[in-house]
Structure 1
Amino acid sequence: MTLSSLFSWLGQLPRLPRWARLGIIASLHLGFFALAYLLAFLIRFDYAIPTPYQTAMWAGLLPLLATKAVVFGALRMFQGWWKYVSLYDVLALARALALASLAYLALNVMVLTPADFPRSIYLLDFALSLILLGGARGSLRLLREKLATWGDDRPAVPVLISGAGDTGETLVREISKNRQIVYQPVGFVDDDPYKHGLRIHGVPVLGPIDKLAQLVEKHGVEELIIAMPSASRDQIRRVVEQAQRAGVKTRIVPAFEAVVEGKVSVNALRDVAITDLLGRAPVELDTYAIGRSLEGKRVLVTGAGGSIGSEICRQVVRFNPERLILLDCAETPLFFIHRELSEQHDDKLFAAIGNVTDAERMRQVFEQHRPDVVLHAAAYKHVPLMEEHPALAVQNNIGGTEIVANLAAEYKVARFVLISTDKAVNPTSVMGATKRVAELLVRHLNHTCATTRFSVVRFGNVLGSNGSVIPIFRQQIARGGPVTVTHPEMTRYFMTIPEATQLVLQAATFKQGDLFILDMGEPVKIVDLARDMIRLSGFSEDEIPIDFCGVRPGEKLFEELTLDREEVDTTAHAKIFMGKEPADLLVEMEDAFDALMSAGRAGDDQSVRAGLEALIPTYRPSAPSSKVIRIESGRHKALSKV
């Protein structure tokens, strides 16, 4: 019988009837038990067993087999499958053999009481049984993994792995088992000098990352896999730059799978993305608290078709709500997120088309679904467009928030969360000013409404959201450039969409505070972001130039997350801070608020701008309405096509 046919036969065992499978596996174990027992006597007497001891040996064989069979059966040791053996299985095997040896010792001493039975046999039998069974199980697994790629004619891709830690070790193990992707690890690179010269599963640690170019040339490496899930953005950037200089393709182990789930899969490997260079560590969540706030609840998400709203829906549905109501006025993105989630959660979803500025429609939604939690993400967010349409920004960002928040109070919703932005801090744009007013409105309701907890979660830019800088840069690079950046010193805070939405859900569980500010890390220069994306796309700045097109109306060179008068305190989560303002500011400005809303409903853009300045003392518009540059004209033409 060839090895291939043997493994083909073994592979059929799980499909046999349960009694037949257990019978075969138990028989194999009994054979190893008998062999270990006989070898123990042979070793004890240097392969010349005296006659009296031979009698004791044969007399004790059947009781030994019966004892071990009972112990192994009680511990379900016949139900494991050898081709998936691990260290855990070896430890379980040792425990079962130890118990079986103790049971046989007790039986022999207290019941059978043989006259001539060496005490060393118990220890020898235990050790030999462990060696034989453990060796057999491990050998079958090793042979199976070796045969998995035997006969595959595809050439193996020589790869280096950056990071000789736990993730790198797991990756090498997975590569050896995965027959779908043919990689040949030729070595590790790691900056830890104590690891140099070591071997991990037979793969050597060849040296530091700085020697990457030499190692690539020496070993004919075609790809570099980054297996450093906790590395900073500077460390990742350094590895990527070294790989680009060496002329090899770079792939990465996603940090989420490696750190959060504790799993590493070759199939999950992907090209290095701009998010990897931003160095955002995976978010650690208090999933128990989030689960308590969402499980079995009716949750309404407004703006569910948008980048943030759709990801909120993806996160919420993980926590088993009774119903998730997805609300948006744009039917196409609403259709797509509903279809995506309905594949696994169709019985929990309801897609509601409606505009948050339509008070009658919103009342219908609240009356029909009676939500327990409202996550309000619907908003106009594009700064240049809102500079052209300030009245519409007021109607949607403030008026829509007012309608939904008042209905939340009226229908006694337990929790209402407004998604806000760093552009609301000392705003220079209409969009930022309207979000600041919306913040004041929601916090005002938290002071005046006893039945609903109202809160605001404020954060900066999210990577890859619709119409944001990254997809714009990506399309400009695909067209051959140039990449347009408004100003060399323009900086922004960034986080990933999943990180932002997870922290929103975490903040929604807090019982104290009504303004929460997410830790955005270090601000990033937009021009550095552009350069990184050009390099990741395999180009240089000579091939894809960067053009500086000037700051657009409403934009600031840098964003802020807190006002000067806001005190910031820590919360139970390291990445969420609580902002405090002296008092309910909106109660002192009701007349100014009413005037602003009247101007917005009347479509009076000039009065809206004046109203925003009266209501928000820190609002400093960057350009009067008469000087607003239309997005499709002149130097902004490149941005209008994406």
Structure 2
Amino acid sequence: MHVEGSKPLYKKVLIVGLTSLPRDVVRAILMGTDIAITLVSLLIADLLFLTSWSAGALWIYPLLIAIDTCWIIAFRLNRIKLVMLNSRDILNIARASFMMAMSFLVVSLILDEAHVAQRVVVFGIFSFAGMVGVRSLAVASLGHLRGYLHKRQNVAIFGAGAAGIQLASALNQSADMRVAAFFDDNPTMQGMEIGGVPVWSPSQLVADLFRHSISKLVVALPDHARARRNAIVEICDQAGIEVQILPSFFDLLADRGSARLRTVDPHELLGRGKVDLDTPEVAKSYAGRVVMVTGAGGSIGSELCRQLLNCRPAKIVLYEQSEYNLYAADMELQPRALKRNVRLVSCLGSVTDPDRLRHVMRSEGVEIVLHAAAYKHVPMIEENELEGARNNVLGTKVAAEIAVEEGVERFILISSDKAVRPSSVMGATKRIAELVIQDIQTRAPATKFAMVRFGNVLGSSGSVLPLFQAQIEAGGPVTVTDPEVRRYFMTITEAARLVLLAGAYAEGGDVFVLDMGEPQKIISLARKMIQLSGRRVLDPKTGEGEIEIKIVGLRPGEKLFEELLADFDNLRKTPHPKIMRAEEAMLSQIEVAALLREIQAAINTSDPQVLRNVVLKRVDGYQPSVGVKREA
């Protein structure tokens, strides 16, 4: 047998045995060690101060060992888990050492021993130092043995606060990871060591990580440092360094300690600063008015109602065709409305029903309409074209005409970036709705109409944020249609605020868009969501990571890039630097009337192909895309 080859195996067997001792054996070893330390401490004290040994001095040894054993059991020193040794355990050892020293004092005084004070002090110091020292040595030895047995991954922690220190303690107990360094922005921490782990400045973050072969960074920053946390994630993402986010204590409690996954805030994914849309014009435009929100139970509609409450209108009319959505919105908003002394009225009805709309607007005295009712999911409308046109086009026409008839002052249509050179029926219906509004505006100067074009609204129903979050929670895969797909993104808060501002800035026939920065790749968004949720993207080559990103192909009606404007030369400024007004091409009244007749005919004959032909002929820039059909 080859001796050299058997030596590592022998060491491994020995190490596994030492690091896997039964609990009762470990407790017995600790008990024996502590008794031995008290005996040695007593012997050192006597050797230092006693020149001669009396019979009483000899009786102290068995008596004191019996008493000290009781104190060890009383303070549960033999139950201290070595890998969890902390300041509380050391304090407990100090208390036990003090009681042992006091017992030594009492026994020595009873036996009338010499140099009592000196011997008690030395005994207390050595017993405390011995018990702490032996445990610290054991912790270090166990860590070294585990390091020999397992190749541990070097990790760094950004944030040397309480959360970071607790995380380091937990990681250092594992067989797989070892904390090599802390990074912290606090200059008073830099250059120090915490539990033997150095604290470095983040000025050379990437260089230090590569220099010291650190393959993973765990960010342990508080929730209020979200901007800094996002910047670190971005830096590591660009450098190809694996980064994970430590969930807050609140997140852990909310998840009941189950997973390290946390909910991602939409603002963390924007890749730009939050747009400040708080202006005095908003509150001024809606204060004391009666505002009607169609589609009030949807993501955008309900957020509009929340923000309207802060403007203190006289009344908000919630108009919604889904009973459950209306019920949910009413239950949430009624208590808030009561606090602000705003009357809330909930009305069931469809925007395609002129009689119901007329009755609600007239009886409630509606002055402003925010039209959020629409079918918006592209693949769904591709398979239900006629209903998409009925709701998005004819519903908008009916709502706008009734608004004019009832003397409404302002009517704001919520449109989409998919209306620009549309590739889907949904986008085409939104563009036609814009054309209808522009046409009605030419004959109704008393009502100011405006349109607001959104990009993709993060966090709204059907958006990538809840979809990806659900897929990550399920363990993946996260599905992306194409690696090159890019979209403009905004949050629900920004979207709703933009609608309210459009109502304040409306002059008649306006198209408002928000400066949302550069469009983002969906696949980059998916990677960032996985990282911010505390998981890793699966690498198909190495097999490392947890969540797979799967490319599934473009769906029907989808295109690679969305646009907010057909022509950027038509942009005009508004009082807000991040909001632009576009002057879009219009159709004549005759052309719009013909378009609406043809759409109505397609709906009456239940012929979706007729509708598609109408859209292809009438909507400028419409180029239907052929995506991957969903599996049945």
Interval containing the TM-score (normalised by the shorter chain): 0.5 to 0.7
- Does 1:298 find its partner at 2:298? no
Please report how far the alpha carbon of residue 318 of structure 1 lies from its aligned counterpart in structure 2 after TM superposition. 1.0
1:224 and 2:221 matched: yes
SS across alignment from 1:516: strand
> Equivalent of 1:404, from 399, 403, 407?
399
1:425 to partner: Cα distance: 0.2
The reply on whether 1:540 has 2:534 as its aligned counterpart is no
Of residues 238, 249, 269 in structure 1, which corresponds to 2:246? 249
- Give 1:198 deviation, angstroms: 8.6
| Partner residue in 2 for 1:552 | 555
- Counterpart Cα distance in 1 of 2:517 and 2:247: 25
Match of 1:602 in 2: 605
Contact 1:446 1:455 in 2 (8 A): no
C-alpha change, 1:235 and 1:576, in structure 2 (3 Å) is farther
Which digits, 9 at most, give the CA deviation of each residue in 1:409-451, with x for residues without a partner?
1111111000000000000100000000000111112222021
Report what 2:518 is aligned to: 522
CA distance in 2, matches of 1:583, 1:388: 28
CA contact (8 A) 2:439 2:589 kept: yes
Q: Output the CA distance in 2 between the equivalents of 1:565 and 1:225.
A: 41
**Counterpart amino acid of 2:327?**
F
- Indicate conservation of the 8 Å contact 1:534/1:541, yes or no: no
Report if aligned partners of 2:428, 2:619 keep a CA contact under 8 Å in 1: yes
Amino acid at match of 2:396: T
> In the alignment, residue 551 of structure 2 is paired with which amino acid?
F
In 1, distance between residues paired with 2:604 and 2:569? 31
Matched, 1:457 2:452: yes
Q: Secondary structure at the match of 2:422?
A: coil
Distance 1:245 1:430 in 2: 41
Report if aligned partners of 2:449, 2:506 keep a CA contact under 8 Å in 1. Answer: no
Greater shift in the superposed pair: 597-606 or 417-426? 597-606
Query: Does the 8 A contact of 1:233 with 1:278 survive in 2?
Result: no
Letter in 2 for 1:302: T
- Are 1:238 and 2:235 an aligned pair? yes
Q: Distance in 2 between matches of 1:423 and 1:441?
A: 17
Following superposition, the deviation at residue 601 of structure 1 comes to: 3.8
Counterparts of residues 394-433 of structure 1 (less than 5 Å)? 394-433=389-428
Q: Which amino acid aligns with 1:208?
A: P
- Say which of 331, 334, 343 aligns to 1:339: 331
Q: Which amino acid is the alignment partner of residue 283 of structure 2?
A: G
Give the corresponding residue for 1:570: 573
Cα 1:610–1:323, aligned 2, differ >3 Å: closer, same or farther?
same
Q: CA RMSD in A?
A: 3.7
Q: What secondary structure, in the 3-state scheme, does the structure 2 residue paired with 1:610 have? A: helix
Q: Match of 2:475?
A: 480
The match for 1:147 is none
Q: Distance in 1 between matches of 2:242 and 2:276?
A: 35
Q: After superposition, what is the alpha-carbon deviation per residue over 1:189-217, rounded to whole angstroms, capped at 9, x for unaligned?
A: 33xxxx84599xxx9996226549889x9
Letter in 1 for 2:434: E
AA matched with 1:427: P
Q: Is the 8 A contact 2:435 2:592 kept in 1?
A: no
Matched, 1:383 2:386: no
Q: Secondary structure at the match of 1:581?
A: coil
1:353 aligns with 2:351: no
Contact 2:393 2:429 in 1 (8 A): yes
Letter in 2 for 1:605: P
Change (3 A) 1:252 1:533: farther
Partner SS for 1:326: strand
CA positional deviation for 1:590: 2.5
Match of 2:489 among 484, 488, 494: 494
> Map of 1:251-266 to 2, 5 A cutoff?
none
| Cα offset, 1:555, TM superposition | 0.5
Which structure is richer in relative contact order (CA contacts within 8 A, separation 6 or more)?
Answer: 2
Counterparts in 2 of 1:521 and 1:426: CA distance versus 1, 3 Å: same
SS at match of 1:375: strand
Identical-pair percentage: 42
How many residue pairs get aligned? The number is 428
Q: Once structures 1 and 2 are overlaid, which stretch shifts more, 481-490 or 591-600? A: 591-600
- In 2, are the aligned partners of 1:302 and 1:376 still within 8 Å (CA)? yes
Amino acid at match of 1:223: A
Task: Work out whether residues 444 and 587 of structure 1, in 8 Å CA contact, stay in contact via their aligned partners in 2.
Answer: no
Q: Matched residues in 2 for 1:330 and 1:303: separation?
A: 9
Q: Distance in 1 between matches of 2:532 and 2:187?
A: 29
Cα deviation for residue 598 of structure 1 reads 2.5
The answer to which of 518-527 and 423-432 deviates more is: 518-527
Question: How many Å separate the matches in 2 of 1:368 and 1:476?
Answer: 46
Match of 2:201 in 1: 207
Q: 2:479, 2:551 within 8 Å by CA — same for their partners in 1?
A: yes
Q: 1:586 to 1:237 in 2, by over 3 A?
A: farther
1:49-68 CA distance string (max 9 Å, x none): xxxxxxxxxxxxxxxxxxxx
The one-letter amino acid of 2:235's match is R
* Whole-angstrom CA distance in 1 between matches of 2:220 and 2:239: 12
> Which residue identity lines up with residue 472 of structure 2 in the other structure?
I
Distance 1:618 1:298 in 2: 38
The answer as to whether partners of 1:379 and 1:397 remain within 8 angstroms in 2 is yes
One-letter identity of the residue aligned with 2:416: T
Aligned mates of 1:408, 1:221 — CA distance in 2? 55
Distance in 2 (CA, whole Å) between partners of 1:629 and 1:488 is 15
Say if 1:295 and 1:321, in contact at 8 Å, map to a contact too: yes
Aligned match of 2:305: 313
Post-superposition offset of 1:588: 3.7
Task: Render the CA deviation track for 1:355-407: whole Å, top value 9, x for unaligned.
Answer: 11122211221122121110000001111111111111110000100111001
Q: Aligned partners of 2:506 and 2:267: how far apart in 1? A: 32
Q: Distance in 2 between matches of 1:197 and 1:293?
A: 50
Structure 2 vs 1, CA of residues 427 and 383 (structure 1 numbering), >3 Å: closer, same or farther?
same
Give per-residue Cα distances to partners, 1:321-367, cap 9 Å, x unaligned. Answer: 11111111111121112111111214511111111112221122112
Greater shift, 224-233 or 547-556, is seen at 224-233
Correspondence for 2:369 among 374, 382, 385: 374
Distance (whole Å) between structure 1 residues aligned to residue 244 and residue 552 of structure 2:
33
Match of 1:179 in 2: none
Q: CA deviation at 1:284?
A: 2.4
Query: SS of the counterpart of 2:460?
Result: coil
CA distance in 1, matches of 2:489, 2:465: 11
Would you say the 8 A contact 2:302–2:329 is kept in 1?
yes
Partners in 2 of 1:252 and 1:316 — Cα distance?
Answer: 33
Match of 2:134 in 1: none
Q: Distance in 2 between matches of 1:414 and 1:275?
A: 34
| Corresponding letter in the other structure for 1:597 | Q
CA distance in 2, matches of 1:427, 1:420: 12
Aligned-partner SS, 1:592: helix
Decide whether aligned partners of structure 1 residues 478 and 321 sit closer, same or farther in structure 2, where only a CA change above 3 A counts.
Answer: same
Instruction: Give the match's secondary structure for 1:371.
Output: coil
Bigger mean CA deviation after superposition, 591-600 or 277-286: 277-286
Matched residues in 1 for 2:433 and 2:229: separation?
A: 36
Cα separation, 2, equivalents of 1:515 and 1:205: 53
Match of 2:360 among 354, 365, 384: 365
Q: Are the equivalent residues in 2 in contact too, given 1:310–1:337 (CA < 8 A)?
A: yes
Aligned to 2:614: 611
Q: Is the 8 A contact 2:416 2:427 kept in 1?
A: yes
CA contact (8 A) 2:570 2:584 kept: yes
Give the Å deviation of 1:493.
0.7
- Measured after TM superposition, the shift of residue 526 of structure 1 is 0.8
